[in-house]
């Protein structure tokens, strides 16, 4: 989603604030959890092939120690999974990862099948969800690169929240499972070789996914939701698979950051951003911003230095109003999605009801038709009998 009003931040801007990426507004402190750090060199020892103890590798994986972890190669019927050996228990976090879906050997211009990112309560085995099992409890973000029975543009990115009871609607590219999604056309053969992604989650249900397709910090929001609640603890996982069609799926790097206020308290809800901005303490770290001050040494010599400059209170108030407007917009969008889901369910039951009514009406008409036909046949027989007499 983009910003529909000049009084609110766009979803990309909100995520930059949450992740501490905003140049003019740094109100969040984030700390990296090294247990979920995956980057080159991936092997502890090239000769032994020993991998990091923080990750569990399974399937048709190819590791180029200084380049990537290739989940699938340009070969038919491959699948693989990489899962963390530790569970994420942060209340709010930013997951940053670099990936590349690429290839040359397409079949009739087609490639497939895709990959998935999992936040699940268990490490998953082999299955139909881009190489992982379908009966998981948690969230999956599926990057589908091949169109089966679904209309639209591919690659397509979709979110699926499963409680362990749902099966994957593979024939329709997960349409029955999807809670939201976006077209990710630039994910295939990215111009810069790698696409950067960031996923934000806040305990009160805020979740948002951005892509930086060109690695130039020009983020594009895929989806933002306000009503998604993950399990308390969960593993981080990645999977991929090929079928008769194939492609390379490379996982290059992952980082997980816990999000904190400057007083070291975790961010528990989106409203914490508003509380930080309305903090009455004038010496709070969030009341300052980095600025460049030019110092004149003499007529021909000037130097620049980085200083901590107090933020204009008017700017702060304007920022607070924009955050409040953003919160209202996101809540409104969440309510609209709930209403659309209710209408969808209502329409489905209405359709079922109409089908049942049609079947009942057809049955009644058939019974009436049979009854009338029998009566006419009986009258005809009686008429013939009277004629014979």
CATH number at residue 274: 2.60.120.200
Is pLDDT of 269 > 90?
A: no
Asked if 251 and 69 touch (Cβ cutoff 8 Å), the reply is: yes
Q: CB within 8 A of 358, min separation 6: which ones?
A: none
Last residue of a domain, one of 214, 249, 278: 278
Indicate if 192 and 327 belong to the same structural domain.
no
Quick one: which of 84, 86, 72 has its CA closest to 114?
Answer: 72
Residue 192 DSSP code: T
Question: 281 vs 236, which has greater pLDDT?
Answer: 236
Beta bridge partners of 56: 83
Indicate if 186 and 113 belong to the same structural domain.
yes
Is pLDDT of 294 > 60?
A: no
Backbone angles phi, psi at 380, to 5 degrees: -65, -40
pLDDT reported for residue 33:
96
Indicate if 244 and 341 belong to the same structural domain.
no
pLDDT digits (tens, 9 = 90+) for 41-72: 999 876 677 888 999 999 999 999 999 999 99
Is pLDDT of 2 > 90?
A: no
In this structure, is residue 337 part of a structural domain? Answer: yes
Confidence class for position 288, pLDDT limits 50, 70, 90: very low
In this structure, is residue 384 part of a structural domain? Answer: no
Indicate if 140 and 217 belong to the same structural domain.
yes
Alpha helices in 74-174 (DSSP H): none
Following CA atoms 117, 111, 223, 35 in sequence, which dihedral angle do they give, to the nearest 10 degrees?
Answer: 20
Asked if 230 and 222 touch (Cβ cutoff 8 Å), the reply is: no
pLDDT digits (tens, 9 = 90+) for 154-192: 999 999 999 999 999 999 999 999 999 999 999 999 999
CB atoms within 10 A of CB 40: 14
| Helices 313-388, 11-18: inter-axial angle, 10-degree rounding | 130
pLDDT reported for residue 120:
98
pLDDT digits (tens, 9 = 90+) for 359-388: 999 899 998 888 888 888 877 777 666 555
In this structure, is residue 389 part of a structural domain? Answer: no
Using CA atoms, how far apart are residues 337 and 342, in angstroms rounded to an integer?
A: 9
Q: How many residues does the chain have?
A: 389
pLDDT digits (tens, 9 = 90+) for 71-96: 999 999 999 999 999 999 999 999 99
pLDDT reported for residue 183:
96
* Token pair belonging to 334: 């969440």
- Give the count of alpha carbons within 13 A of 315, CB side only: 10
Backbone angles phi, psi at 150, to 5 degrees: -110, 140
Confidence class for position 356, pLDDT limits 50, 70, 90: confident
In this structure, is residue 1 part of a structural domain? Answer: no
Mean pLDDT score across all residues of the chain: 83
Residue 282 DSSP code: T
Residue 358 lies in domain? 323-376
pLDDT digits (tens, 9 = 90+) for 202-230: 999 999 999 999 999 999 999 999 889 99
Using CA atoms, how far apart are residues 7 and 319, in angstroms rounded to an integer?
A: 9
pLDDT reported for residue 73:
97
Using CA atoms, how far apart are residues 276 and 266, in angstroms rounded to an integer?
A: 12
**DSSP letters of 131-154?**
TB-S--EEEEEEEE-S-SS--S-S
Confidence class for position 338, pLDDT limits 50, 70, 90: low
Asked if 208 and 223 touch (Cβ cutoff 8 Å), the reply is: yes
Indicate if 172 and 43 belong to the same structural domain.
yes
pLDDT reported for residue 315:
57
Is pLDDT of 289 > 50?
A: no
Element (H, E) at 315: helix 313-388
**Average pLDDT over every residue of 107-116:** 88
Percent of the chain with pLDDT over 90: 52
- Mapping DSSP to helix (H, G, I), strand (E, B) and coil, where does residue 143 land? strand
In this structure, is residue 309 part of a structural domain? Answer: no
Indicate if 31 and 157 belong to the same structural domain.
yes
pLDDT reported for residue 238:
99
Last residue of a domain, one of 278, 303, 336: 278
pLDDT reported for residue 23:
61
C-alpha angle 235/21/4, rounded to 5°?
95
Confidence class for position 283, pLDDT limits 50, 70, 90: very low
Asked if 118 and 56 touch (Cβ cutoff 8 Å), the reply is: no
pLDDT reported for residue 313:
55
Is pLDDT of 103 > 90?
A: yes
Quick one: which of 133, 263, 272, 252 has its CA closest to 193?
Answer: 252
Residue 233 DSSP code: S
**Average pLDDT over every residue of 133-152:** 93
Using CA atoms, how far apart are residues 138 and 218, in angstroms rounded to an integer?
A: 29
Asked if 162 and 138 touch (Cβ cutoff 8 Å), the reply is: yes
pLDDT reported for residue 281:
46
Indicate if 271 and 354 belong to the same structural domain.
no
Confidence class for position 6, pLDDT limits 50, 70, 90: very low
Specify the number of domains making up the chain: 2
Last residue of a domain, one of 278, 313, 343: 278
C-alpha angle 138/157/154, rounded to 5°?
150
Percent of the chain with pLDDT over 70: 76
Asked if 101 and 191 touch (Cβ cutoff 8 Å), the reply is: no
pLDDT reported for residue 353:
84
């Amino acid at each position: 989603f983009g910003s529909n009003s000049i009084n609110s931040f766009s979803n990309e801007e909100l995520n930059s604030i949450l992740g501490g990426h905003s140049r003019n507004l740094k109100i969040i402190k984030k700390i990296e959890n090294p247990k979920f750090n995956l980057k080159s060199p991936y092997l502890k020892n090239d000769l032994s092939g020993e991998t990091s103890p923080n990750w569990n590798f399974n399937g048709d994986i190819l590791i180029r120690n200084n380049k990537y972890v290739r989940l699938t190669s340009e070969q038919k019927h491959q699948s693989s999974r990489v899962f963390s050996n530790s569970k994420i228990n942060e209340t709010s976090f930013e997951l940053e990862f670099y990936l590349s879906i690429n290839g040359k050997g397409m079949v009739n211009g087609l490639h497939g099948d895709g990959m998935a990112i999992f936040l699940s309560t268990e490490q998953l085995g082999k299955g139909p969800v881009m190489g992982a099992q379908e009966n998981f409890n948690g969230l999956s973000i599926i990057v589908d690169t091949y169109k089966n029975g679904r209309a639209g543009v591919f690659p397509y990115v979709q979110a699926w929240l499963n409680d362990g009871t749902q099966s994957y609607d593979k024939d329709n590219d997960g349409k029955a499972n999807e809670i939201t999604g976006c077209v990710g056309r630039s994910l295939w053969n990215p111009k810069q070789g790698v696409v950067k992604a960031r996923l934000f989650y806040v305990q009160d249900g805020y979740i948002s996914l951005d892509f930086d397709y060109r690695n130039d910090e020009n983020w594009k929001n895929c989806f933002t939701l306000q009503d998604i609640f993950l399990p308390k603890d969960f593993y981080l996982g990645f999977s991929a698979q090929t079928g008769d069609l194939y492609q390379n799926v490379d996982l290059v790097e992952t980082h997980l950051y816990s999000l904190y206020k400057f007083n070291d308290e975790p961010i528990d809800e989106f409203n914490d951003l508003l509380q930080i901005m309305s903090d009455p303490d004038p010496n709070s770290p969030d009341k300052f911003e980095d600025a460049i001050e030019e110092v004149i040494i003499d007529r021909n010599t000037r130097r620049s230095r980085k200083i901590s400059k107090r933020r204009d209170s008017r700017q702060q108030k304007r920022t607070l109003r924009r955050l409040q407007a953003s919160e209202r917009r996101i809540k409104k969008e969440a309510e609209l999605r709930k209403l659309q889901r209710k209408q969808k369910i209502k329409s489905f039951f209405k359709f079922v009801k109409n089908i049942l009514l049609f079947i009942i009406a057809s049955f009644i008409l058939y019974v009436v038709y049979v009854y009338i036909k029998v009566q006419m046949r009986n009258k005809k027989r009686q008429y013939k009998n009277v004629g014979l007499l």
